[in-house]
Structure 1
Amino acid sequence: MKNKSKQEELLKGSAWMTAGSIGSRLLGAVYTIPWVTWMGIHSNEANSLFAQGYNIYNLFLIVATAGIPAAVSRLVAQYNGENNCSMSRHLYRSGLYVALLMGIMSSFVMVSGASLMDNGDKDVIPVINSLAFAVLIMPTISVTRGYFQGYGLMAPSAISQFTEQFFRVAYMLGITFFIMEVIHGNWKNAVTQSTFAAFIGALSGLVVLIIALIKYRKILSINNAKSDKLGSTRKLMLKVVCQSIPFIIIESGITTYQLIDQYTFFSIMKLFRNISRYKLNVYYALFSFNANKLYMIIISIAMSIAATVIPILAMLKSKNDKRGIKTQIKNTQLLFLFIMVPTALGLYSVAQQIYTVFYKYDSLGIMVLEFSAFIALPLGMYTVNAAIMQGLSESKVMLKYLFIGILLKLIFQLPSIYFFQVFGPLLATGFSMIVVNLLILRYFYFNYDFKVL
């Protein structure tokens, strides 16, 4: 009965997180249809500029936020498992202090260091600056989502995620239409305003979470903690930071791979071929933006499963329930395979139709999307497996595996791009991620008797 309830909890939580994640990802993909149309002949250049700015933004977002909700979620679930809910509430307040500090620091570095991250393209600087506003408040949003997830309340996180994306897309489309179709302005200004939309979306997501805190106040009882029985705020803040650091590095795995592509693809291609910057931007846009927007919808499913499994495993780990952990690993892997494999095959089978609808017909772009559909599987599996490792407090082992993967990515990046050009970065990513996943599955086998077959 206990295992059944945990399985139901996983399915219910994953359903909420999947709905919110896929809904927001779909919005994040569908907007490209009118957006690309309004950009006209500059669409691939605009996509390349957008992707370069967002890759840097995602890294700072992960540094400022990704470790915090996962760490808070894990610690809250752990304390609740120990019947120490007062500490969970105090942890949340301490996490807000950390979030505020991380937001300010990350936003400052983005603004002051934009010129050092432009990769030789000055047009990237205003895009990075516009995204710094969102980084300022996203940590607060993330720590609140982590707090809800620690209690198993996935709905507030899912709804705020969808709301955030909805208002981001609404502002983006509205301002792009005004600049490109009404005043016939510069496409670069339209891209900058489109990235600033992340701040508009973040504000709306924050409002939803504040409403949720009020709605669930009886469950959370935020104002009922007894301060005389709680630990030092400074110690709790230090614990949140220490717990967050491994999460930051591990959850930045996919973004790190994308940044390796961003800062190596152009130089490696120029090294072996005489090719213009415009053509390079077009090639880069094909795999880093056009295909990425679509196959990330698949990976978002894995992200939703990952967000659900961390607090469940953390609670089982605190009770040293090895049998329950083994069952949970099995359920998570089966859920991943049941959802992800058919979805990836579906994307591959309709790649031509989908790509044409979103971007217009392009034979090379369609082949890149078809290839990306299969690369999404090891990327999604990494997301789920990394979450399992973190839920089991095995961050050090996971960090070792990730570093092995990054090393393999760097080793194979040059020959992959030399022989396969635009497919090269995806090939190097897929191969290294497969190795990382095999290492993790091997760890599950030796430590929790988990068998793949």
Structure 2
Amino acid sequence: MKNNSAQKMVQGATILTLTGIVAKVLSAVYKIPFQNLVGNVGFYVYQQVYPIYGIGMTIALSGLPVFISHLVAQNDDQQLNRRLISDLQWILTGLVLIIFIGLQLGDRTIAGWMGDWQLAPVIRAVSWMFLFTPFLATGRGYFQGTGNMYPTAYSQVVEQVVRVTVILSVAVWAAKDHIDPYIMGRNAMLSAPIAAAFATLIILLARNKLGSWPDNPPSNNGPRVAGLLKQTLLEGGTVCLVAAVMVLLQLVDSFSVIKGLVGQGFSLNAAQNIKGAYDRGQTLVQFGLVLGTAATTSSLPLLTRFYQQTYQLSFARGAKTLAHVSIFLAVAVSAGMAALMPQINLVLFASHDQDFVLAVYGMSVIFATALLVQNSILQSVGSFYPLMVGVLTGIAVKMVLTKPMVLGMGVLGASVSTILSLVVMVLIANWLGRRWLRFVFNFEKLGRLIVISLIMMLTVNGIANVLTIYLGTGRLMAIGILLITVPIGVVEFLGLSYRARLLTNREWLTIPFMKKILKRMGKRNATR
């Protein structure tokens, strides 16, 4: 029975990982043609309000469902779980109504805080998606907690496909008919509630197959509901904070960067163009976080099960593997992006605007991934305090530093403040959660990883610069340079990392396609 349960959990984690990758790639890829169609100002309008959508999506997809699945997985009593889900639905309905009403009535105030009152209709448009959150969060959490990942997986992919389709359709219409950027932004943000409605339909279909569903009135046990509310706010809130950490940092940028640039002397239009170019970094970071986010989200149920069943060796091994592989990949992606940012920026966005700023911003992938790893490990053992303190402190640091740093350094200050805030989060969580994290991170190997990354960066950047001299600086030439330098960088990075023994044989084989790559590299002993 235990083997079947573990096998089912692994299969479910694999499904969620694969669909998570597909959905996150879709969520990042569409921004490239979108920005090309609507330009920097249109992209600015969309990205200013995007963090509000991102928070709602996190609550409904990767925040509360993970927390709820953790609660459901702890109980084998189906009746108790259904009562739990029913109570959570009513609790979340009350909370999201407060958010919805606040966004509807406070739209002009929020837009004013962002330095651009014309954003008010865009804010109202995105607020409608929150009304779907209670059902999506509880439905996905219930199915994930019982080991059935398919409803979450299907609803996740359908939601992103519908949303991306609507957004790109709006962008094409706006570009063709020269629609005002703010009207375009409002219509693009309406994609969020439309997509949420389709995702809800998927959950409804899955619910009907059960034959029964926890749709009863809330429990009459007042103290029990009050305790569940407190647990939802503290533990569920922590999960959402960590899952939405990059979105929350972007939200701080929405309130700070434009005001800082205007205070530095730029006109509002010029500040919008600069912010629109800076917002490209969020798309690039999303790409970098795809593997790490999917892996950490899907690993939580398995780590939790190992811990609860006192499989301490399996838990420690799984935690180490998760940390080592995730950080390894994050550093590789960040270093590669930094080295080739001029070519990446030109290929994706048709300009060299803010190359250096975007390269710096890309380094946040490393620290955001480390935070996600810490979250997965600490949450699996039921420890929420370190993450709550770390994330809140880091956000406070970001709020205090961003505007002064933008005034002093331009938009580069926003990138630097993001990285500093993430570093604060990771250090505080690591200190407060050292009981569980002290055996996970190997700082000696991390030093070797940094050296190897610098060698790779110098190599591919040097080759790219030489090729640029001979081939030219056009967009087509940049594609050719990337096609040449990326494989060189990957081979060099993997080869040096293998010789430096940065990962164990078991860890190497957890990386997709790595077994075949190692065979081709002649490292057959890694497959033993």
TM above 0.5: yes
Deviations along 1:386-419, one digit per CA (max 9) or x if unpaired, are 2332332222232222233234334543554344
The residue identity in structure 1 corresponding to 2:271 is L
1:275-314 map, 5 Å: 275-287=266-278, 289-314=279-304
CA distance in 2 between counterparts of 1:431 and 1:5 reads: 42
Aligned with residue 98 of structure 1, among 86, 91, 94: 91
When residues 353 and 137 of structure 1 are mapped into structure 2, their CA distance, relative to the original with a 3 A threshold, is: same
1:352-391 map, 5 Å: 352-362=342-352, 364-391=353-380
8 Å contact kept, 2:62–2:297? no
The residue identity in structure 2 corresponding to 1:384 is V
CA distance in 1 between counterparts of 2:420 and 2:382 reads: 26
Aligned with residue 188 of structure 1, among 182, 186, 206: 182
Are positions 1:332 and 2:353 aligned together? no
Structure-2 residue corresponding to 1:173: 168
8 Å contact kept, 1:27–1:165? yes
Structure-2 residue corresponding to 1:263: 255
- The percentage of aligned residue pairs carrying the same residue is 21
Between 1 and 2, higher relative CO (CA 8 Å, sep ≥ 6) is seen in: 1
CA distance in 1 between counterparts of 2:2 and 2:427 reads: 29
CA distance in 2 between counterparts of 1:31 and 1:349 reads: 24
Aligned with residue 47 of structure 2, among 51, 55, 61: 51
8 Å contact kept, 2:285–2:365? yes
CA distance in 2 between counterparts of 1:395 and 1:23 reads: 29
Are positions 1:156 and 2:151 aligned together? yes
8 Å contact kept, 1:64–1:103? no
Aligned with residue 72 of structure 1, among 64, 68, 73: 68
Aligned with residue 231 of structure 2, among 238, 243, 247: 243
Structure-1 residue corresponding to 2:24: 25
Structure-1 residue corresponding to 2:473: none
8 Å contact kept, 1:168–1:198? yes
8 Å contact kept, 1:14–1:308? yes
The residue identity in structure 1 corresponding to 2:277 is L
Are positions 1:146 and 2:141 aligned together? yes
Deviations along 1:317-374, one digit per CA (max 9) or x if unpaired, are 5456555543332232134235433333444454344433332122x33333322322
Deviations along 1:268-312, one digit per CA (max 9) or x if unpaired, are 3344x211111211222223x311022112224333233223333
The residue identity in structure 1 corresponding to 2:153 is A
Instruction: Give the secondary structure class of the aligned counterpart of 1:123.
Output: helix
Instruction: Give the secondary structure class of the aligned counterpart of 1:185.
Output: coil
CA displacement at 1:236 relative to structure 2: 5.5
When residues 414 and 236 of structure 1 are mapped into structure 2, their CA distance, relative to the original with a 3 A threshold, is: same
CA displacement at 1:50 relative to structure 2: 0.8
Are positions 1:115 and 2:108 aligned together? yes
The residue identity in structure 1 corresponding to 2:169 is G
When residues 406 and 116 of structure 1 are mapped into structure 2, their CA distance, relative to the original with a 3 A threshold, is: same
When residues 439 and 320 of structure 1 are mapped into structure 2, their CA distance, relative to the original with a 3 A threshold, is: farther
Structure-1 residue corresponding to 2:451: none
8 Å contact kept, 1:291–1:365? no
Structure-1 residue corresponding to 2:496: none
8 Å contact kept, 1:72–1:240? no
The residue identity in structure 2 corresponding to 1:104 is L
8 Å contact kept, 2:361–2:416? no
8 Å contact kept, 1:18–1:304? yes
When residues 384 and 144 of structure 1 are mapped into structure 2, their CA distance, relative to the original with a 3 A threshold, is: farther
CA distance in 2 between counterparts of 1:301 and 1:9 reads: 21
Instruction: Give the secondary structure class of the aligned counterpart of 2:354.
Output: helix
When residues 450 and 168 of structure 1 are mapped into structure 2, their CA distance, relative to the original with a 3 A threshold, is: same
CA distance in 2 between counterparts of 1:235 and 1:159 reads: 36
CA distance in 1 between counterparts of 2:397 and 2:433 reads: 22
Structure-1 residue corresponding to 2:382: 393
When residues 407 and 45 of structure 1 are mapped into structure 2, their CA distance, relative to the original with a 3 A threshold, is: same
CA distance in 2 between counterparts of 1:286 and 1:12 reads: 40
CA distance in 2 between counterparts of 1:86 and 1:367 reads: 56
CA displacement at 1:9 relative to structure 2: 7.0
Deviations along 1:1-51, one digit per CA (max 9) or x if unpaired, are 989986x77764554333223322322333234433432xxx111111111
Unmatched tracts of structure 2, length 5 or more: 443-528
CA distance in 1 between counterparts of 2:290 and 2:384 reads: 22
CA distance in 1 between counterparts of 2:357 and 2:150 reads: 35
Unmatched tracts of structure 1, length 5 or more: none
TM-score by length of 1: 0.84
TM-score by length of 2: 0.73
8 Å contact kept, 1:76–1:147? yes
1:183-262 map, 5 Å: 183-215=177-209, 217=210, 222=212, 237-246=225-234, 247-249=236-238, 250-251=241-242, 252-262=244-254
CA displacement at 1:378 relative to structure 2: 0.4
| Aligned residues: CA RMSD | 3.2
Number of matched residues? 434
